[in-house]
A and B are shown apart, each in its own frame.
Chain A
Amino acid sequence: MNAFKPVLTEHIHQKDCHTLPFYKSVGGYKALEKVLAMQPDAVIQEVKESNLRGRGGAGFSTGVKWGFIPKDSDQPKYLINNADESEPGTFKDRLLMNKTPHQMLEGMIIASYAINCNTAFIYIRGEFYKEYQVLKETLAEAYQANLLGQGILGSDYNLEVVIHRGAGAYICGEETGLIESLEGKRGWPRIKPPFPAIEGYLHCPTVVNNVETLACLPHIINHGADWFKSIGSEKGPGPRLFCVSGTVNNPGVFEEPMGISLKELIFDRAGGIPENKQLKAVFPGGSSSAILTAEEALDVKMDFEDLVEKKSMLGSAGVIVMDETVDMVQACLNIARFYAHESCGQCTPCREGTAWLVKMLTRIVNGQGKPDDIDMLYEITDNIGGRIDFSKGSFGKTICPFGEAVAWPVRSFVEKFEDEFRSYISQVEAVA
């Protein structure tokens, strides 16, 4: 097997890698030229064949998503680049925007062309101010070079790209919450159906794609679907940016083929755990994924299938490492608090349930836990996120996946480290 050569981050360490001249010097916008000579359907077909799956978290097939856009509708179509990267432990899109913004933009133009869209948006996380400045410069360069605007590169294709800055809500990374926010409304996810491909931005057909997903597109066009499929795992191929953080020596973003072992990521790429402490647990895919115990973590491949088998998920590929010194009850409270703070409050189970979890966990941490609390934690998480039956898909009960995103990790903490929760509670009993 050939050694993997980074695709998306190949040039990020070079000087001025974010500029248009640099990007062009390494073959940038060649894919766009190729695409402009293709039929939009052929572009969709190529991406479908590449089996590119969304890099935002859900892992839905990009080509299939595009295919849902009605062809016979005369409504305008919209592409939204979801750059609202907010998942704890995830910082890959930020890197791509900082270092190779044109790669992402080229992907946006290709995607827009494929779905016949003439206005595209970049919904960028409000806190990414530096990246926002970079992107403004990127767009100016692109307009100047006729890569955007009217008659792109001499074709009859027009595209305007608008940057919209978010206002700091995690939920606006959920695609329908994002669309509401982009429309100037409160970021409350919409009930589905209708799905955005049918009724999205301003009730028009809309595709929402993640930054990294879009950045893959020029490479798929340049090297073909077969090349893309040859990288990493079969059912979800391609390069992937893994963000490793937590108790590791060398945290950062590592581009690796799908399916790299988590062990290799942590102990090789990220340099292992400081002071040779023992690994205790890992979030494999951002804080919304169920945690893995050390034993599970050392035996898992980082792709969609293997992680689902371990009853977790690849999510945003944000790997958060916890060593033996981490107090799992406190960590669980920390996660629950984050989700309670970010819950949009629209639907009942999530609004009430997340706060209940925080109140209960705080009480346990404060040494006032009761034996029944453990059972209640299971019940509450089940009642927010639904009982998880991986053979039948999730049993979510909320409008958007947020309910599951809080229920799964919290439940996994209790399930896998019940002893620690019990010891907090038994200390109380001992004192009493």
Chain B
Amino acid sequence: MPLLKIDDLEIEVKNGTTVLEAALENGIDIPYYCYHPALEIVGSCRMCLVQVEGMPKLQVSCNTFVGEVPPERKVDGNFDMVVQTQNDLVIQERKNILEFLLLNHPLDCPVCDQAGECYLQDYSFKFGNAHSRFDEDKRVRPNEYLGSQIVINHNRCILCSRCTRFTREISGTSELFVDERGYSSKIAALEDRPLNNLLAGNVADICPVGALLSTDYVHKNRIWNLQKKSSVCQDCSVGCNIDAFYQKRKIFRLNPRENQDVNGYFMCDIGRYGFHRFEDLERVARPLFKSNGIFSEISWDTAIEKISNKFNGAEEKVAGVVSPFHTNETNFMLGRLIKGIIGTFPHIEDEEITYPSGFRISSDRSPNKRGMHDVCPSIVDDLASEINDKEIRVIYILDNEIDKEIDETWNKILTKMDFIVVQAYAMTRLAKSAHLILPGLAPFEREGTITNDQGRVQWLRSVLPNNGESRPDWEILNLLYKTGERFSDINELMKGMGEQFPSYSGMTFFKLGDQGLPLNGNLKT
């Protein structure tokens, strides 16, 4: 392995590693704009220039590859490359490049959405001049829509070309290009080919400055007002890793979080903007009991008692409906509770989309179908006919989706039931058909594990606080167990689940961490 010396640090690196990668991995900060690990190297911003011993010019570290050199060419007898990233020459060069980048920049940080997470702002703080030496008129251009969700502020753009490379290399749709030439260059899309692909939102994320903006977030908040929590997207079975940015009870923005085993660096717009559908819902905040067609609030104790009474002695006649939208823990608890039959609603497949880069949007737009089947192996194929055959009278349903329609078959089934319990977070059609509604958590409030379609178990973290008297879904089911069979907390539950289903054994939130673990991983002891 080549021996690289960066500043005072001596490190062995993989053959072919770039100086920039080696530096970043080892905590040395080299500023850059155009470089992005998922995109082709173009070396155009010139910000990452470093001094390489033996080379007359400063080199862009993003395109300087470290390789083993023959003994006679080693520097100081044993280094394959010696790099200076912090000396006066390099720092001066960064200042020069930054001066060029800021010549026409409007310096409108107070109204810029990127402020607080902007490379231009950060490096200006670090390397910038206090006063501009530019005495000329600035280049001023109006904002433009590049697609229905993306606006460009040309004045802030530094033409790093990350966005054009993204549409060429990752989405493969090539909507964005550089129009004009030289000083007049600008990012553009053709009028009849706007940036409307399902990965479009990523260009706003990878824009290192405040040029590309998502219309969904523009001028909504300041980043320093928002809190961030890592979680997992729940809009398809891929399970992209995300960071959710929220303030109090409201989510403002979802960003993809790197996970090379799942989503790389990106996420799709279905997931990115999906959180809005949980806003302004008519939430269920307390247990509701229907009498004479009207719901009225009851206490949790009364609700649990009513359900237990219905179950008692008729355990074989109770059906449970698990859901691919719920966590493994919740489905496991329902599957374990019900002695009659376990099933799930028929699921409609959507379009499967795979991009040239391999990024995938699954046809299964539920997050946890695989996990649901893993922890509820007795799910019947055709729930509707089994319910008829076995003369089921009581049904316990984990609510599925907020926009779920109830078809004719299910309408008939539900009207025949003596007692319907729906565990729901909103007044869905299904909830309205219930005799008793138990208030569970909405998707961004839940915590637990979900298993993606590749068999990776990931930690779904709660982002928002619980609403009213609603309780975690697994915990509600826990109340229906006999005292001795209950779990004391979710960690105990996961342990119990692992004992019953060995492919989940040994999994804890701590071990799943930010990146999740494959099923049957090395955890089995």
**A427: chain B residues within 8 A (beta carbon):** none
Residue from A343, A345, A347, A363 within 8 A of B45 (CB atoms): A347
Q: A191-B63, A386-B57, A395-B57 are known contacts. Are A344 and B182 too (CB-CB below 8 A)?
A: yes
Of B97-105, B199-207, B253-261, the segment with at least 4 beta carbons within 8 Å of chain A is B97-105
Q: B46 near A345 (CB under 8 angstroms)? A: no
Q: Which of A354, A383, A392 has the largest number of chain B CB atoms within 10 A?
A: A383
Q: Across the two chains, which residue of chain B brings its CB closest to A397?
A: B46
Q: A349 near B135 (CB under 8 angstroms)? A: no
Q: B133 near A342 (CB under 8 angstroms)? A: no
**A376: chain B residues within 8 A (beta carbon):** 133
Of B36-44, B210-218, B359-367, the segment with at least 4 beta carbons within 8 Å of chain A is B36-44
**A340 → B minimal CB distance (Å):** 6
Interface residues of A in 372-431 (CB under 8 A from B): 376, 383, 386, 392-399
**A335 → B minimal CB distance (Å):** 15
Q: B182 near A348 (CB under 8 angstroms)? A: no
Chain B: interface size category:
35 or more
- Does A193 have its Cβ within 8 Å of any Cβ on chain B? yes
- Does A355 have its Cβ within 8 Å of any Cβ on chain B? yes
Q: A351-B182, A352-B101, A397-B57 are known contacts. Are A346 and B42 too (CB-CB below 8 A)?
A: yes
Residue from B56, B159, B177 within 8 A of A345 (CB atoms): B159
Interface residues of B in 40-68 (CB under 8 A from A): 41-47, 49, 56-58, 60, 63, 65
Q: In the complex the two chains form, what is the Cα distance from A399 to B58 in whole Å?
A: 11
Q: In the complex the two chains form, what is the Cα distance from A343 to B185 in whole Å?
A: 10
Q: In the complex the two chains form, what is the Cα distance from A360 to B103 in whole Å?
A: 13
Q: In the complex the two chains form, what is the Cα distance from A126 to B44 in whole Å?
A: 27
**A348 → B minimal CB distance (Å):** 5
- Residues 174-190 of B, flagged 1 when their CB comes within 8 A of A and 0 if not, give 00011011111100000
Interface residues of A in 52-72 (CB under 8 A from B): none
Interface residues of A in 310-353 (CB under 8 A from B): 340-349, 351-353
Q: In the complex the two chains form, what is the Cα distance from A383 to B44 in whole Å?
A: 15
Q: B182 near A340 (CB under 8 angstroms)? A: yes
**A191: chain B residues within 8 A (beta carbon):** 41-44, 60, 63
Q: B63 near A370 (CB under 8 angstroms)? A: no
Q: B41 near A383 (CB under 8 angstroms)? A: no
Q: In the complex the two chains form, what is the Cα distance from A425 to B466 in whole Å?
A: 71
**A390 → B minimal CB distance (Å):** 11
- Does B93 have its Cβ within 8 Å of any Cβ on chain A? yes
Q: Across the two chains, which residue of chain A brings its CB closest to B186?
A: A345
Q: In the complex the two chains form, what is the Cα distance from A376 to B129 in whole Å?
A: 15
Q: Which of B104, B134, B177, B183 has the largest number of chain A CB atoms within 10 A?
A: B183
- Does B137 have its Cβ within 8 Å of any Cβ on chain A? yes
Q: In the complex the two chains form, what is the Cα distance from A340 to B136 in whole Å?
A: 15
Q: B178 near A186 (CB under 8 angstroms)? A: yes
Q: In the complex the two chains form, what is the Cα distance from A353 to B136 in whole Å?
A: 12
Q: B46 near A370 (CB under 8 angstroms)? A: no
Q: B56 near A393 (CB under 8 angstroms)? A: yes
Interface residues of B in 97-143 (CB under 8 A from A): 97, 99-101, 103-104, 133-137, 139
Q: B183 near A354 (CB under 8 angstroms)? A: yes
- Does B87 have its Cβ within 8 Å of any Cβ on chain A? no
Q: In the complex the two chains form, what is the Cα distance from A193 to B59 in whole Å?
A: 11
**A254: chain B residues within 8 A (beta carbon):** none
Q: B57 near A341 (CB under 8 angstroms)? A: no
**A395: chain B residues within 8 A (beta carbon):** 56-58
Q: A186 near B177 (CB under 8 angstroms)? A: yes
**B385 → A minimal CB distance (Å):** 59
- Residues 354-366 of A, flagged 1 when their CB comes within 8 A of B and 0 if not, give 1110011001000
- Does A169 have its Cβ within 8 Å of any Cβ on chain B? yes
Q: B101 near A397 (CB under 8 angstroms)? A: no
**A349: chain B residues within 8 A (beta carbon):** 46, 96-97, 100
**B103: chain A residues within 8 A (beta carbon):** 352, 356
Q: B185 near A351 (CB under 8 angstroms)? A: yes
**B49: chain A residues within 8 A (beta carbon):** 397
**B100: chain A residues within 8 A (beta carbon):** 348-349, 351-353, 356, 383
Q: Across the two chains, which residue of chain B brings its CB closest to A370?
A: B135
- Does B158 have its Cβ within 8 Å of any Cβ on chain A? yes
**A187 → B minimal CB distance (Å):** 9
Q: B46 near A347 (CB under 8 angstroms)? A: yes
- Residues 77-89 of A, flagged 1 when their CB comes within 8 A of B and 0 if not, give 0000000000000
Q: A348-B97, A392-B56, A397-B58 are known contacts. Are A342 and B182 too (CB-CB below 8 A)?
A: yes
Q: In the complex the two chains form, what is the Cα distance from A353 to B103 in whole Å?
A: 9
Q: B135 near A348 (CB under 8 angstroms)? A: no
Q: Across the two chains, which residue of chain A brings its CB closest to B183?
A: A355
Q: A386-B57, A393-B56 are known contacts. Are A348 and B45 too (CB-CB below 8 A)?
A: yes
**B45: chain A residues within 8 A (beta carbon):** 347-348
**A216 → B minimal CB distance (Å):** 30
**B403 → A minimal CB distance (Å):** 44
Q: Give 6 A-B contacts (CB < 8 Å), ordered by A residue.
A: A343-B181, A345-B181, A355-B182, A356-B100, A356-B134, A397-B93
What are the 9 closest A-B residue pairs judged by CB atoms, nearest first? A345-B185, A355-B183, A343-B182, A359-B136, A352-B100, A191-B43, A345-B182, A383-B96, A393-B56
B contact set with A: CB distance below 8 Å: 41-47, 49, 56-58, 60, 63, 65, 93, 96-97, 99-101, 103-104, 133-137, 139, 158-159, 161, 177-178, 180-185
Q: A346-B159, A348-B45 are in contact. List 19 more A-B contacts (CB 8 A).
A: A191-B43, A191-B60, A193-B63, A345-B180, A345-B181, A345-B184, A349-B97, A351-B100, A351-B159, A352-B100, A354-B183, A355-B182, A356-B134, A356-B136, A383-B99, A397-B46, A397-B49, A398-B46, A399-B43
